[in-house]
Structure 1
Amino acid sequence: QREDDHEKPSEALSSVAGGIVALGKFDALHIGHRELAIQASKVGTPYLLSFVGMAEVLGWDPRPPVVAQCDRERVLSSWAPYCGNVAPKEFQVQFMSVRHLSPRQFVEKLARELGVCGVVAGENYRFGYKAAGDASELVRLCDEFGMGAYIINSVMDRHQDARNMNRLDLKDRGQVSSTRVRQALAEGDMKYVSELLGRPHRLLLTIKDWESLTSTSSTQRMSAPRSSLLNLPPKDGFYENCSLLFGEQNAVTCRVSIDTSHIHLEMDRLDFCDNDYSQKSQVLGIEFGELKS
């Protein structure tokens, strides 16, 4: 049985063989990440290679993801028009399995164990134990192991000068980053968030029943506890001109209020009644308009 346990990972790893992998921490799936996927697609079959379990291994406090896990495939599919009509696939490696690898061992793993043909990384990419390797070493090692290496310039935030974000972060040179997306969400600046992501931010929540519904002659209201949220919401407040999405059904215009314990939605009763809520449990999506001051 132990031998079988060892065989399963190698079977999974073969799915990325022959591909071009973009390297990074793909939390927000922002326009900088998309640019990595675009470059990978120009060379071969594009993959995003990311590590799972970093927070647990490194003792970081748990935090909600920018993109809900169940929504990542939709986002990657939306990149297909930029990537030669091929949606990049995500390939995840347990961080624990690579944490102590030197830069050379890491590249060797990519070449020999994963069987990738090439890698794409940003100019500031660091890798290997204690982030000992940089982009230039990545190029050198990939050449040694017979892989292509493509280093691209960072996608810069056009609004960096006006925002003074991350002034204390030495890694921040004004590039688009997941940290920047999180900070913009914390400010409730949804237009800025959309610019960084290249799409509207979509908040997902699970509704297990519809007992929280209340109605008037013209409006329908519903509330859900924050524990039902599957990813990071924006700043507490009242948002107008939002869109409520029920799977493949048409979006419904709504107003959203977020407080410390709940998220509240209000929409036109006629629009709401056009949709089907017969399922016991549904995942709803909300795309936000502007925060009302």
Structure 2
Amino acid sequence: MHSLPDVSLRYGSLQVFHSLEEYKESGVCKIPGAVTLGKFDGVHIGHQKLIRKIMDFAHANSISSIVFAIEIQDRPILSHEERAVYLESLGVDILVECPFSREFMSMRAETFAREVLSETMHASYVCVGTDFGFGCRREGTASMLADLGRQYGFQVEIAAKERLFQEDVSSSRVRKALAKGDMKLANALLGRPYPVMGIVQHGRHLGTGIGVPTVNVHPGANKILPPDGVYASCTRLPDQTIRTGITNLGIRPTVGGKTRKAETTLFDFQADLYGQTIQTDLLDYLRPEHKFSSLDELKSQIGRDRESALAILPDECDRFYGGPAFEFHGQG
């Protein structure tokens, strides 16, 4: 069943630590681990390759799988909650979010290998990409880490870069695709649909008044978002079903909106979702946001958007959600 884990459970079996100090104080750090390191702001298919390797090693050796995420100041592709939920769904045991502090920036590469990887994380195995850099001014390279691993007793594997459409997969490529509203490329790079997760909020109920009820979510404040507009989407509900729909991302100028929201019309569905966490996956861009002269004109356009979405959704849903356990609603 493709479902959204319950965020209220603190990401199910995944343990999340918001700093290296918090991890040290937990006592969990005494358990040996298979570790991968990087920004992991989108957990794209290149990141997933590293994660699969540490999980394979961890399972084979009965140790913990640990994702060490370096927190940078750039706006992330995923919110912290979205990243944690996805890592939990992959089966990762531990996520350590390490702020890119002045102290961390000035740490020498050898010190990082000894104090962080060996003495704090008790790493048995570390997997990084070929372009991995660490330590003050990125003085450490992947090959240097392998040398340090032999010195401090952990195995290092350097994984080749993942490629898609004859180019390296990277977070910057995902960001560029999102900036253009190229959801098919962004989703291919991510290996799954781009999500907008949040708690359903009360709106002005204008959609209900014209017979087109919506669910409203405020995206994460710092999260990168694609351009404002209307998207074909699928929404994962708390009851583990997935509903098709269309999502307007923007300020809703026709009704005098001021704040940016993800406002989703779910096809053939009505229920009270207020206060519950949902995840809306944006599958394809349909059109820009537009200010209509009346609500009737808006309602007519929503009908046309529905038809456009229904022409796209079967293929996209088969690609990302297909399978014998998949519950798919709203095909028309």
Band of TM-score, shorter chain: 0.7 to 0.9
2:59 equivalent to 1:48: no
**Residue type matched to 1:90 in 2?**
L
User: Which residue of structure 2 lines up, in the alignment, with residue 112 of structure 1?
Assistant: 119
User: Which residue of structure 2 lines up, in the alignment, with residue 165 of structure 1?
Assistant: none
Match of 1:188 among 160, 175, 181: 181
In the TM superposition, residue 39 of structure 1 has moved relative to its aligned partner by 1.2
Q: In structure 2, what is the Cα distance between the partners aligned to 1:235 and 1:146?
A: 48
Residues 210 and 25 of structure 1: CA distance in aligned 2, closer, same or farther (over 3 Å): same
User: Which residue of structure 1 lines up, in the alignment, with residue 284 of structure 2?
Assistant: 290
**Residue type matched to 2:69 in 1?**
S
Asked whether the 8 Å contact 1:243–1:288 carries over to 2, the reply is: yes
SS in 1 for 2:247: strand
TM-score, length basis structure 1: 0.76
**Residue type matched to 1:231 in 2?**
K
SS in 1 for 2:47: helix
**Residue type matched to 2:228 in 1?**
D
2:69 equivalent to 1:69: no
Match of 2:48 among 14, 31, 34: 34
Residues 193 and 71 of structure 1: CA distance in aligned 2, closer, same or farther (over 3 Å): same
User: Which residue of structure 2 lines up, in the alignment, with residue 79 of structure 1?
Assistant: 90
User: After TM superposition, which residue ranges in structure 1, 4 or more long, deviate above 4 angstroms?
Assistant: 6-9, 222-226
In the TM superposition, residue 118 of structure 1 has moved relative to its aligned partner by 2.0
Match of 1:145 among 124, 130, 152: 152
Q: In structure 1, what is the Cα distance between the partners aligned to 2:206 and 2:67?
A: 40
Identity %: 24
**Residue type matched to 2:113 in 1?**
V
SS in 2 for 1:121: strand
In the TM superposition, residue 207 of structure 1 has moved relative to its aligned partner by 3.5
Q: In structure 2, what is the Cα distance between the partners aligned to 1:77 and 1:175?
A: 26
Residues 37 and 246 of structure 1: CA distance in aligned 2, closer, same or farther (over 3 Å): same
In the TM superposition, residue 212 of structure 1 has moved relative to its aligned partner by 4.0
1:1-293 aligned at under 5 Å gives the runs: 10-12=24-26, 14-15=28-29, 17-44=31-58, 45-52=64-71, 54-55=72-73, 63=75, 65-80=76-91, 87-96=92-101, 97-109=103-115, 110-158=117-165, 160=166, 174-216=167-209, 218-221=211-214, 231-240=223-232, 242-259=233-250, 261-263=259-261, 265=263, 267=265, 270-271=268-269, 273=270, 275-277=271-273, 279=274, 281-293=275-287
In the TM superposition, residue 16 of structure 1 has moved relative to its aligned partner by 6.7
**Residue type matched to 1:282 in 2?**
Q
Q: In structure 2, what is the Cα distance between the partners aligned to 1:89 and 1:14?
A: 9
Residues 224 and 26 of structure 1: CA distance in aligned 2, closer, same or farther (over 3 Å): closer
Instruction: State which drifts further: 28-37 or 14-23.
Output: 14-23
Residues 190 and 11 of structure 1: CA distance in aligned 2, closer, same or farther (over 3 Å): same
TM-score, length basis structure 2: 0.68
Asked whether the 8 Å contact 2:194–2:281 carries over to 1, the reply is: yes
Aligned length: 254
SS in 1 for 2:164: coil
